[in-house]
């Protein structure tokens, strides 16, 4: 047993182009999201039907999380934040389908999304204060704190990505250890806890921390 | 200075990294205390103001996540020590 992505096959047999199960399950997640979105948003009406109510409930719930922390800009950040919320949550809990591994149990996916969030945070900070004013904010309150501020800023994507990765892969390792020790019935409730509950909470947390980083950069 | 053969040195390194990965998980004590303290305070706050339940739970989760990061770091280091050899 080894954690991390398992290479399924190579494109054209080229050793530099591996296709891992993270990639395959990640694309499967995207296809599921696309089908779900297409299903929920056909025939939009002024008086919503059942499907449209579900979609509006989801979007309103995510908007209700953004609006208190970024006042007045909820709808502007909604596409970005809702993408993170839905994709991360679904890729966390897709592990309940037997035979699939979670894409979030791979540092490449979590670190990639954390770097996207990091770039958005820098861009929002520069947009708010101008380039010079933003760079100057690193040397506040005194110039001696400059290296500490830079390290603190660079630590954000690292902690952001390692948190999700560590939670998911920790659960995977614990469940696989229990499977070796007591195979028949005992691991089933653990799946409920480690896959569903921790997956949902961590997907929520990942999006909330992204909102918090953006709102810190703008104030 | 004692000279070890390469096999002995390798097994000593393996044993040491297993022991170290166990020791690294002692770091789970701190985040556990911190997250429990936050949850206790949130319970008190919900008791005092039940109508602010949603906002309190969101704030509690954010605080618990930040304080729980150190535990996750120790878990990552333990995983690297076990599987990275």
DSSP assignment of B4-54: PPHHHHHHHHHHHHHHHHHHHGGGGHHHHHHHHHHHHHHHHHHHH-GGGHH
We report the CATH number of the domain holding residue B61 as 1.20.20.10
Whether B18 maps to a domain, the answer reads no
What is the span of the domain harbouring residue B37? 28-83
The whole-angstrom distance between A197's CA and the closest CA on chain B is 14
Distance between CA atoms of residues A15 and A38, nearest Å: 37
Whether B15 maps to a domain, the answer reads no
Of the spans A92-96, A215-219, B45-49, which averages the highest pLDDT? B45-49
Per DSSP, what are the bridge partners of residue A7? A20
The whole-angstrom distance between B3's CA and the closest CA on chain A is 33
B75 at interface of A, judged by CB pairs closer than 8 A: yes
A113-168 pLDDT, tens per residue? 999 999 999 999 999 888 888 888 888 778 888 889 899 889 889 988 999 998 88
Whether B54 maps to a domain, the answer reads yes
ipTM of the complex: 0.78
Contact A166 B55 (CB under 8 A): no
pLDDT of residue A62: 92
- Between B55, B61, B76, which is nearest A166 by CB? B76
pLDDT of residue A95: 86
Distance between CA atoms of residues A62 and A78, nearest Å: 7
Confidence band, pLDDT 50/70/90 cuts, at residue A2: low
Whether B65 maps to a domain, the answer reads yes
Please tell me which residue of chain A has the smallest CA distance to B80.
A3
Contact A166 B61 (CB under 8 A): no
pLDDT of residue A84: 93
**pTM exceeds cut of 0.95:** no
B83 at interface of A, judged by CB pairs closer than 8 A: yes
Please tell me which residue of chain B has the smallest CA distance to A107.
B76
Whether B14 maps to a domain, the answer reads no
Distance between CA atoms of residues A53 and A11, nearest Å: 43
More reliable by pLDDT, B18 or A2: B18
Residues of chain B with pLDDT under 50: none
Tally of domains in chain B = 1
Confidence band, pLDDT 50/70/90 cuts, at residue A4: low
A65, A76, A216 from A123: Cα distances, Å? 21, 14, 13
* Percent with pLDDT over 70 in chain A: 98
A36-74 pLDDT, tens per residue? 999 988 878 888 888 888 889 999 999 998 988 888 888
């Amino acid at each position: 047993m080894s954690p991390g992505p398992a290479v399924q096959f190579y494109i054209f047999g080229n050793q530099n182009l591996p296709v891992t199960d993270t990639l395959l399950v990640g694309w499967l997640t995207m296809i599921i999201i696309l089908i779900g979105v297409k299903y929920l948003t056909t025939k939009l009406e002024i008086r919503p039907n059942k499907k449209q109510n579900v979609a509006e409930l989801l979007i309103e719930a995510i908007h209700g999380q953004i609006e208190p922390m970024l006042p007045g800009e909820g709808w502007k950040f909604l596409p970005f934040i809702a993408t993170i919320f839905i994709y991360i949550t679904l890729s966390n809990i897709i592990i309940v389908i037997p035979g699939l591994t979670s894409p979030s149990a791979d540092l490449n996916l979590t670190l990639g999304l954390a770097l996207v969030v990091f770039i958005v945070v820098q861009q929002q900070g520069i947009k708010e204060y101008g380039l010079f004013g933003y760079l100057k904010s690193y040397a506040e309150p005194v110039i001696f704190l400059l290296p500490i501020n830079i390290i603190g800023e660079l630590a954000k994507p690292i902690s952001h990505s390692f948190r999700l990765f560590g939670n998911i892969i920790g659960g995977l390792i614990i469940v696989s250890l229990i499977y070796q020790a007591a195979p028949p019935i005992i691991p089933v409730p653990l799946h409920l806890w480690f896959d569903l509950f921790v997956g949902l909470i961590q997907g929520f947390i990942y999006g909330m921390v992204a909102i918090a980083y953006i709102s810190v950069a703008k104030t | 200075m004692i000279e070890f053969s390469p096999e002995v040195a390798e097994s000593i390194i393996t044993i040491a990294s297993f022991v170290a990965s166990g020791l690294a998980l002692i770091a789970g004590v701190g985040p556990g205390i911190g997250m429990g303290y936050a949850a206790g305070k949130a319970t008190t706050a919900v008791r005092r103001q039940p109508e602010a339940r949603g906002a309190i739970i969101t704030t509690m989760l954010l605080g618990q996540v930040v304080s729980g990061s150190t535990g996750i770091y120790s878990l990552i280091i333990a995983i690297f020590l076990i599987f990275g050899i």
